[in-house]
Structure 1
Amino acid sequence: MQVNDTTILDLKPRLKTALIGVIVSRLADIANDPIRFDLQKKEAAKGLGVSISAIQKAVKKLIGDRKEAETKARLDREEAYEANANPPPRGDRPVPEGVSSIDPENILEMDEPKTPGPRTVDGPVIEVSPFLGKVSWQAWEVLRAHNEKTPEFFRFGNEVIRINSDQYGVILKPQNVDRLRHVLGRLASWVKTDADGNHKAILPPEVFLRDMLADPEPPLPEIEQVSSVPVLTEGGSILTNNGYDPASRIFMQSSIHLAPIPEHPTEKEIKTAAVFIQEPLTDFPFEWEADRAHAVALFLLGFVRHAIDGPTPNHLIDAPVPGTGKSLLADVLLTPAYGSNKGIVTAANDDDEWRKRLTAQLVEGRPVINIDNVRRPLDSGTLAAALTASVWEDRRLGSTEMIRVPVRAVWVTTGNNVVMSTELARRTIRIRMDPRAESPEDRTDFKYPELLKWVRENRSELVRSALILIKAWVSAGKPHPAVHPLGSYEGWTHVIGGILEVAGILGFLENRKALFLESDFEGQAWRAFVCAWWEKFNSEPVKASDLYEVTNEIEGLPLGTGNDQARKTALGKRLGNQRNRIIGGYRIEKGGTGHKSIVLWKLVPSEKKSEKFPRGKEMTPPSPPPYPEQDGTRGFNGGGLEGMSEGPFDPLQTPSQPPPPGNGSSYRNGWDGGGGGVKSAILGKKNSPGEFLEEEDI
């Protein structure tokens, strides 16, 4: 209904009165359509030169008159029916008298002007209307203006997050309807305009908040990582300024004051920094030189995680007995980079529970995920997938909506004689300690009795030492280490291995084969099974049911807990999964088909020359750090750094006794961590630390 106000005002009074009646009648006809009614009443008020309030009163009066007339007509029909009169048909009801009659001259009297109420809102105002996009855009503008002053709202994957900080650190908090209402209800005043143009304060309506969260590309900056210390960016520079850095997409909130870091560290500065970052490790009984190197690798990872293109492996802190200090070592290695901002989870019982726990940690951008105190064999396809993922996708709990966030967490696992599946062992590096004592918790000869307190007090110097080593690696041209990269973790190998090599810290990745042999309970079981298979059947093609008799001698094969027939079927499926794989020097192949087309299996000796790999070097006698203010009575257990003076051997657990020869009993016979019935005899002959193990010996 288009109305031209100039034409109406110029009409003669009679015509104007008639037109007003028509307009009010038509508005009454569409009163049940609020959107059309709202738009057309404003046009009518403008054209007639009256207020919206007057139009509404006229329409309301007309609707009331119509209802009153219809009620009177209905009562008349009922009265006639009761008097045996023939009521008029429903479709031919008489038009009630006065239904369309409204005195147009009185419409101006209904226009009672009201004094606008005082405006009581301050700051940004979001005016609510039926236009969804317009209101959401106003709300986004409020958030963007707030972000320019205090950056705290970002995009993390496909999540809208807010930076939350407390005494333990900074986390990314995903926003939902309630959290968004809490923020926008304080950053702006939400109002609705009444008929007289006055603003009425309201709460932020949920429909607009949901529309904002559903935006596939919210107008917010992207974030990938939060940090509480200066870190190495992907471009090779060290981020030192607090706040959000758009180039690296890192938000840094640090209270650490550092002395200047040399742009090109000297050899002396490099050695001093390398020694100092190992000072907190003095009281830990590392089993091999590689274990100590991996501890330093975990320490450095928090400063270079963003510069690594791709995933990082799980760091297994392992020991044969409780009380060795596994959790303490994890705290010591992670506190300099992360403070108290470390997420701790326990091992789940199934993949569905793993998925929930990992998603809850990753969606908040937890910088560290510490799987603490593992007490059963670790086997999870979900965890294995997370360890090699650069982006994590999962269904939101209680919803069909998918979460998609980047993975920038550092992975740590602690436990005693931890065993794990093949897929997890391949994604893990080990930090093994062996106290060689029955009750290591009874030790008293610590150099730092309150070690974690010492780390916190010296945090700034530890951070500076780490950054000096990183600067030295960058200054040297970011060289690759002289080791074969760990599969799926080539970027991590390049950065961490390169820094350790520049720092002169030896042993990186030297014990990865030993970990695979000793912690991989699934691989242990298959090697024992193949060995027993070859001894009984040699290269003869056999059925899976024939091989089932062999499995009775082997514990640890994943055949389920059903009856014999179900376990035989499971064995056939497992053999299919291992087809063409070389295990213990033998290749599992199909040997044709037998009676009733049953698949036969056989072993074929591998023609490939057996791969040899080192066990890694045992820790050398300790040397005192080159610090004049320290008495040097307790040095590093096997520091091995060039330029460090030799000192008397002083093992932590048995100071009056020399260490046992060779690898130590725990490395050979300490298979009590849940590997089933796979005996240590599988390893064959005993080798000294400097010798090699061959696959034929396994």
Structure 2
Amino acid sequence: MTGILSKTLVHHDPGQMPETGDHTLDVVGECAMEIGIGKRGGLLVELHVVDGQQKKGGMSRQKGALVIRPMSTASVCRAFAKVVAITRYDARKNDNKVVDFPKSLAEAILSMPDWPQIPELLGASEAAILDLDGREYSEPGYHPEIRLYLATRGKLKPVPGVAGRTIGTEGVKKLLHLLRAFPFKSESDKSAALAAIITALLRRLLPSAPFFAISAPSAGTGKSLLAEVVGIILTSRKPPMLSMGSDDAEFEKRLAGALLEGDPMVVIDNITKPFGNEPVLNQACTQETLRVRILGGSSMSNVPTNALLVATGNNLAIVGDLKRRTCLIQLDAGVERPELREDIDFDVLVEAARDRDKLIRAALDISKSYLEAGAPDVYLKREDGTQEKVKPLGSFGDWDRMVRRALIFHGMADPIASAEVLREADPDIEAMTMLFTAWVDLYGKEPQTAAKVV
């Protein structure tokens, strides 16, 4: 988004509102993204930088967060007036004069069914990104071929003197070095943490992606800190934090608001109850768009779901369909008071912020080098030493190819393997197991009538 722009005169005669609206949109369309205007989910929207710590609607955002806001009559008047000067005939002077942008014109523009002159805005990103073919985008500005606005600091530099598979392997090492203080329970959990970083950077263009859950047996282990590290790499700020609210309807409204405003990452922090039966979460993981109600109104919008969704909590219990759509990261320091550990001699957030460009480069290189190698089949070693070909992950095909397989290709464990414990800990499955066990104890394998059982 740029500073001062020249204005184009648009004349408005009485009774010519449709013509004036079209002419105005023609002018604005030539520089729409320069003034932060696009269309998204059937709405005219505007890029907005949060100018202070923001807490509203169960959502907490850091100062400087880049969000997308539906435009109002007032915001159309303000934004369009940056590049359009409306003139009207003044009979007293027998000449045209410049007037304030008319409210009636703004209302007419907002009421249009579409704005073909305005670019489609899938979202905004503050980091470089790869498309589904592995092409890299890092230059700041709007990229029509991917429908993203990149608020980056400039073109991302390649790693000198390294190429091929080695560049991805080096990327893995850089990310692991950053996360060296986190007490991952297994190699799969460690791989899942790297998957969270890569997914965050690619999520804007991934049609679907798993839900990430960060769990630990006790407080102070680093669950929220790990989520903050991902946020720092993605945006240079801690990520937005979302509280669940009192019921499913309240949570759905809050998550819909976050998606509507284009947050690239949302952390549902410190969950204390079984979690996952919320339909909106499952839809947000597997569907490219979600139909939501506009806050404060009755109209609906089909908004992109291209945000990384993360939950943190002690001994997280993920239930329902969400457990098969979750990538689990388990932390376990193995001590009673993990917050008192004395073996950490650096600030991971400071290091992530300092090396942010290098970390983005490292994460993208993991995916990019795998795709440039032709995205070959990858294999995991069984307990008996034989190799097992990794099968595609049904609901998340592109994520499976660009994140999961890329990590396995570069020597990491399967990032989804640790999620198997979610099935074992599912209270619904546990209850069914107890029921069937008791049934066999009482009745064996003989058929029973409902009347007898009751």
Contact 1:274 1:465 in 2 (8 A): yes
Residue from 145, 154, 158 that aligns with 2:42: 158
| Residues 537, 398 of structure 1: alpha-carbon distance in 2 compared, 3 angstrom cutoff | farther
1:513 aligns with 2:443: no
| Residues 213, 524 of structure 1: alpha-carbon distance in 2 compared, 3 angstrom cutoff | farther
1:455 aligns with 2:352: yes
Residue from 227, 248, 257 that aligns with 1:351: 248
1:188 aligns with 2:84: yes
Counterpart of 2:89, as a letter, is: T
Residue from 191, 205, 212 that aligns with 1:315: 212
| Residues 503, 202 of structure 1: alpha-carbon distance in 2 compared, 3 angstrom cutoff | same
1:335-484 to 2 correspondences below 5 Å: 335-340=232-237, 342-378=239-275, 379-448=277-346, 450-481=347-378, 482-484=389-391
Distance 2:130 2:224 in 1: 27
| Residues 460, 454 of structure 1: alpha-carbon distance in 2 compared, 3 angstrom cutoff | same
Report the aligned-residue RMSD: 2.6
Alpha-carbon shift at residue 171 of structure 1 (Å)? 2.1
Q: Which has the larger radius of gyration?
A: 1
Distance 1:545 1:170 in 2: 63
Aligned residue for 1:277?
A: 175
Alpha-carbon shift at residue 273 of structure 1 (Å)? 2.3
| Residues 230, 529 of structure 1: alpha-carbon distance in 2 compared, 3 angstrom cutoff | same
Contact 1:367 1:410 in 2 (8 A): yes
Alpha-carbon shift at residue 201 of structure 1 (Å)? 5.4
Greater relative CO (CA pairs within 8 A, separation 6+): 2
Q: How many residues align?
A: 423
Tell me the percent identity: 26
Q: Which has the higher strand share?
A: 2
Consecutive unaligned residues in structure 2, runs of 5 or more: 1-6, 51-62, 379-388
| Residues 531, 210 of structure 1: alpha-carbon distance in 2 compared, 3 angstrom cutoff | farther
Counterpart of 2:110, as a letter, is: L
Aligned residue for 1:673?
A: none
Counterpart of 1:255, as a letter, is: R
TM-score scaled to structure 1, two decimals? 0.57
Alpha-carbon shift at residue 172 of structure 1 (Å)? 1.8
Report the 3-state secondary structure (helix = DSSP H, G, I; strand = E; otherwise coil) of the residue aligned with 1:426.
Answer: helix
Counterpart of 1:270, as a letter, is: G
Alpha-carbon shift at residue 138 of structure 1 (Å)? 2.7
Alpha-carbon shift at residue 403 of structure 1 (Å)? 0.9
Aligned residue for 1:303?
A: 201
Distance 2:130 2:288 in 1: 18
Counterpart of 1:311, as a letter, is: S
Distance 2:111 2:451 in 1: 53
1:533-552 to 2 correspondences below 5 Å: 533-538=439-444, 539-543=446-450, 546-547=453-454
Report the 3-state secondary structure (helix = DSSP H, G, I; strand = E; otherwise coil) of the residue aligned with 2:270.
Answer: strand
1:170-189 to 2 correspondences below 5 Å: 170-189=66-85
Alpha-carbon shift at residue 343 of structure 1 (Å)? 2.2
Residues 260-297 of structure 1: CA deviation (Å, up to 9, x unaligned)? 34698245443332211111221111111111110011
1:528 aligns with 2:437: no
Contact 1:126 1:139 in 2 (8 A): no
Report the 3-state secondary structure (helix = DSSP H, G, I; strand = E; otherwise coil) of the residue aligned with 2:414.
Answer: coil
Aligned residue for 2:406?
A: 499
TM-score scaled to structure 2, two decimals? 0.85
| Residues 349, 495 of structure 1: alpha-carbon distance in 2 compared, 3 angstrom cutoff | same
Report the 3-state secondary structure (helix = DSSP H, G, I; strand = E; otherwise coil) of the residue aligned with 1:489.
Answer: helix
| Residues 186, 232 of structure 1: alpha-carbon distance in 2 compared, 3 angstrom cutoff | closer
Contact 2:227 2:239 in 1 (8 A): no
Alpha-carbon shift at residue 390 of structure 1 (Å)? 0.8
Consecutive unaligned residues in structure 1, runs of 5 or more: 1-121, 548-698
1:150-299 to 2 correspondences below 5 Å: 150=34, 152-165=36-49, 168-195=64-91, 197-199=94-96, 202-218=99-115, 219-255=117-153, 258-261=156-159, 265-299=163-197
Distance 1:311 1:513 in 2: 20
1:132 aligns with 2:17: yes
Residues 161-216 of structure 1: CA deviation (Å, up to 9, x unaligned)? 12223563422222111211222344433344344544465544433222212222
